[in-house]
């Protein structure tokens, strides 16, 4: 417990962070260790290169998009607080504490999880997944097995499925509707962050 406390004391505003993300001190400590391990130059900030150093991430077809999601637009670095906030998207929703309507929506709610997933597609941040954007993701995920033509028709079809207002793009609302039946809390949660 002593080491936990000493680590926690190093982090500024740790109470606030825990309140906001719902992480336990143990989680925070674990993530802080990881953060420091990634932060090779001990600047207190992570740069995209630091993420790039994770070997397995390089093999991930959407790895660069995930990395991109950690950096808010215009920013070159991410500090520990933002790092934890991003990871908090993947905390399972807690059933025991029913949602307090007065509180702002927690970061691990269904909507914010979906928003996170949505922005992975929506690279130009215009609030819509265009055909080209979808095609990019598909191409990276399906690579080699499928021809370009098939890829295009898959993209077309996917957009068709979700596209309700016929603008040839998927808005967030449409995105949410198309995944209505999917249990996002199961699909976008990681066990050890519980």
Partner 1 sequence: MPALLRSTFVLVMVLLAISRPSLASEATGNGTENTITTLPIVIWKWEEIHFPYLVALWVLVSWLCKLVFQLNPCLTRVIPESGLLICIGWVLGGIIYGADKVQTFRLQPFTFFFYLLPQIVLDAGYSMPNKLFFGNLGAILVYAVIGTCWNAATLGLALWGCWLGGAMGNIDTGLLQLLLFGSLIAAVDPVAVIAVFEEVHVNEVLYILVFGESLLNDGVTVVLFNVFDAFVSLGGAQIDAVEIIKGIISFFVVAVGGSLVGVVFALLISLLTRCTKNIQIIEPGFIFVLGYLSYLTAEMLSLSAILSCTFCGVCCQKYINANMDERSVSTVRSTMKVFANGSETIIFVFLGISAIDPSIWVWNTAFILLTLLFIFVFRFIGVFLLTWILNQYRLVPLDFIDQLVMGYGGLRGAVAYGLVLLLDENKYKEKKLMISTTLIVVYFTVMLQGITMKPLVTWLKVKRAAVSERTLAEKIQNRTFDHMLVAIEDISGQIGDNYMRDKWNNFEEKWLYWLLMTPIARKSCDPIFNIFHKLNIKDATSYVKEGERRGSLAFVRNESKADVDFNKKFGADFSEMMPYIMTENMGPDHVPVSSILRDSVPSVCLDMHEQDLKMRESEDFDAHHLLQQHLYKGRKQHRHRYSRKHLEVNKDEHEVQEIFQRTMRSRLESFKSAKMGVAPPKKISKHLKKDQPQKMPNGKSADTSKSHAYGDEDLEFSEGDSASGCEAAGGSFPMRAYRGAGIVNPAFMAEMDTMDPMPPMQQIPSWLAEAEVDSSNMVPSQRAQLRLPWTPSNLRRLAPLCLSTHSNDSFLLADSPATQEGISELPPPPPPQDGQGQGTHK
From residue 156, give the alpha-carbon distance in Å to each of 28, 142, 147, 192: 43, 15, 14, 37
Cβ–Cβ < 8 Å for 105, 89: no
Asked if 194 touches partner 1 (CB under 8 A), the answer is yes
Residue 131 beta carbon to partner 1: minimum distance, rounded to whole angstroms: 7
One character per residue 121-140, x = contact with partner 1 (rule: CB under 8 A): ----------x-----xx--
Q: Count the residues of the shown chain that bind partner 1, applying the rule CB under 8 A.
A: 53
Residue matched to tokens 């990634």: 38
C-alpha pair distances (Å), 96 with each of 56, 92, 99, 100, 183: 35, 12, 9, 12, 18
From 1, 56, 101, 104, residue interacting with partner 1 (rule: CB under 8 A): 56
> Least separation, in Å, of the C-beta of 102 and partner 1?
27
Point out which span in 1-9, 13-21, 30-38, 97-105 binds partner 1 (CB under 8 A). Answer: 30-38
Task: Name the helix (H) or strand (E) containing 35.
Answer: helix 25-38
Closest CA to 47 of 23, 12, 82: 82
Which residues are near partner 1 by CB under 8 A? Answer: 30-31, 34, 37-38, 51, 54, 56-57, 60-63, 66, 87, 90, 92, 95, 117, 120, 131, 137-138, 141-142, 145-146, 150, 153-154, 156-158, 160-163, 166, 168, 178-179, 181-182, 185-194
């Amino acid at each position: 417990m002593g080491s936990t406390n000493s680590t926690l004391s190093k982090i500024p505003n740790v109470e606030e962070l825990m309140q906001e993300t719902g992480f336990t001190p143990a989680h925070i400590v674990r993530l802080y260790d990881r953060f420091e391990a990634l932060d090779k130059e001990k600047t207190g900030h992570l740069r995209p290169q630091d993420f790039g150093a994770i070997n397995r991430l390089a093999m991930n077809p959407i790895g660069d998009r995930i990395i991109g999601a950690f950096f808010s637009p215009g920013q070159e670095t991410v500090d520990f607080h933002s790092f934890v906030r991003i990871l908090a998207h993947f905390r399972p929703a807690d059933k025991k504490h029913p949602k307090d309507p007065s509180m702002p929506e927690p970061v691990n709610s269904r909507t914010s999880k979906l928003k996170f997933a949505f922005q992975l597609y929506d690279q130009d941040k215009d609030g819509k997944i265009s055909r080209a954007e979808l095609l990019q993701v598909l191409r990276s995920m399906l690579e080699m097995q499928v021809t370009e033509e098939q890829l295009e028709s898959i993209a077309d079809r996917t957009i068709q499925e979700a596209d309700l207002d016929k603008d040839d793009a998927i808005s967030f609302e449409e995105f949410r509707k198309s995944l209505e039946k999917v249990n996002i809390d199961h699909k976008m949660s990681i066990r050890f962050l519980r």
